[in-house]
Structure 1
């Protein structure tokens, strides 16, 4: 009887002592599949980009700056006649008047004639001195304003243009509005011989130093 009990107990003891299968077995892959890892990384990067990089709808709209149209000078156009209306040496300014029918091409030609005269040291034959006694000459610093309406070629309007768009209006309550005077400028020629890199600047229309400009503004040189 004892032998039979020993034989019957043997198999149960062997079963209880056999090792149970663990999480890592030979021939089986441990951890996530590599393809799943790659997909997870790609999804994570996409999510970060979506959260932190603003879309085109979120970016503020920036208005494109207007590109000045080129003005062709007519070689056969007759030189426009002009009259010096105002000279203000205190602010290095001159106001000249051209006929209302003067074309843009003629204004361009006049501005180039003034520059050529300045380069040839002959500007004094055309305009009064704007910087008398200056060591660099009588037109070392000049702002030459071209108008067709003579009432704006006067100290009141030219003074407003010289002060610029951002001058406090309450200091000059009787002055011509800057916007009004600016739109009346047919052409503007600035000379500054202290600016050796760019001593001559000219334009159709007018723009002050802050960039506020008239509707007809076209930079020439």
Structure 2
């Protein structure tokens, strides 16, 4: 008979202690959750995510025809309408065209003054919205945008929710000549100062 001690002796436990096994299983599960399952801390609130990618513009896109639908001077707002078939490249081109006209001093020839008589010009402050559906280029919808996403519900026109109106904005050109660092901001879609933006939002300039 061998002199080696039999590991399976009566009264002695064979293998690892159960607590060690349980601890190893828990550690494995924790590592799986930490490394494999995406952490909710890396997720942003809905409606505040950054754009999915850069705007793909077509330099050969034909200029889009537009019509001034509504102008509200006391809100510094103008709404223009483009055809539903207008592409994002055409809308982006329109925003760049409006910016060029502002810099050249000819914007007033095409867009009604939002600050008539102002020392900085007829468009010292302006929000120019581009829509394809003229229903959203009317006064009530524009008031909804002006009040913003965080206005008390009783102030918002009930017939046109902010979330719906926001998604209908094809383009937005914001002018603020008081902001000497960045007086012109243009984007596809809509965004506001709080960071809330539409699904189609892409910064143009």
Match of 1:131 among 101, 115, 139: 115
SS in 1 for 2:141: helix
Q: What do the CA deviations read for 1:116-174 (whole angstroms, capped 9, x no partner)?
A: 00000110011000111111000000000000000000110011111110011112353
Show the counterpart of 2:53: 69
Show the counterpart of 1:178: 162
Could you tell me which runs of 5 or more consecutive residues in structure 1 were left unpaired when the two chains were aligned: 1-54
**Contact 1:86–1:96 (8 Å) recurs in 2:** yes
Show the counterpart of 2:11: none
Q: Following superposition of structure 1 onto structure 2, how do residues 110-149 of structure 1 map, counting pairs within 5 Å?
A: 110-149=94-133
SS in 2 for 1:188: strand
How far apart are the structure 1 equivalents of 2:157 and 2:134?
22
- Structure 1 vs Structure 2 CA RMSD: 1.7
Show the counterpart of 1:198: 182
Greater Rg by CA: 1
Length-normalised TM-score, structure 1: 0.71
Question: How many residues were matched structurally?
Answer: 166
Q: 1:102 to 1:173 in 2, by over 3 A?
A: closer
Moved over 6 A (4+): none
Is 1:101 equivalent to 2:85 in the alignment? Answer: yes
**Contact 2:57–2:89 (8 Å) recurs in 1:** yes
How far apart are the structure 1 equivalents of 2:40 and 2:96?
41
SS in 1 for 2:42: coil
Give how far 1:110 is off: 0.2
**Contact 2:51–2:202 (8 Å) recurs in 1:** no
Which has the bigger relative contact order, CA under 8 A and spacing at least 6? 2
